[in-house]
């Protein structure tokens, strides 16, 4: 299983022959390869896994996923990470 984090494309460009982009994760910008999502444009949401956009998603999917990730983080703060005794 892999975990993709939703982000919004804020800029696209080419680097070393690859389509790349700046991805906005709620104010934090990171570079990611956009080769696997050729139709994604500035303003679109994508799932990022280890520096690669692996799929394009809707804004509502992105917001729902981010809300779930926040709930997981809140739960971990409350009860501690899994596996601890």
Residue 23 tokens, joined: 């991805």
Is residue 84 in some structural domain?
no
Domain assignment present for 29 = yes
DSSP-based three-state secondary structure for 41: coil
Q: Is 67 a member of any domain?
A: yes
Cβ count near 22 (within 10 Å): 16
* 35 falls within a domain: yes
Establish if 27 belongs to a structural domain.
yes
DSSP H helices in the chain: 59-79
Q: Is residue 85 part of a domain?
A: no
- Taking only the tens place, the pLDDT of each residue in 28-66 is 999 999 999 999 999 999 999 999 999 999 999 999 999
Q: Return the percentage of the chain with pLDDT > 70, whole number.
A: 93
Residue 55: CATH number of its domain: 2.30.30.140
Q: State how far Cα 75 lies from the chain centre.
A: 21
Structural domain tally of the chain?
A: 1
Residue 39 lies in a domain: yes
Which pLDDT score is estimated for 77?
A: 79
Owning domain of residue 28: 5-79
Are 66 and 74 in contact by the 8 Å Cβ rule? The answer is no
């Amino acid at each position: 299983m892999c975990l993709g984090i939703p982000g919004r494309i804020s800029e696209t460009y080419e680097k070393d022959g690859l389509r790349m982009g700046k991805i906005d994760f709620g104010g934090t910008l990171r570079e990611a390869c956009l080769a696997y999502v050729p139709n994604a444009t500035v303003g679109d949401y994508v799932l990022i896994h280890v520096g690669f956009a692996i799929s394009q998603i809707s804004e509502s999917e992105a917001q729902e996923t981010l809300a779930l990730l926040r709930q997981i983080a809140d739960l971990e703060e409350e009860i501690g990470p899994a596996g601890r005794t």
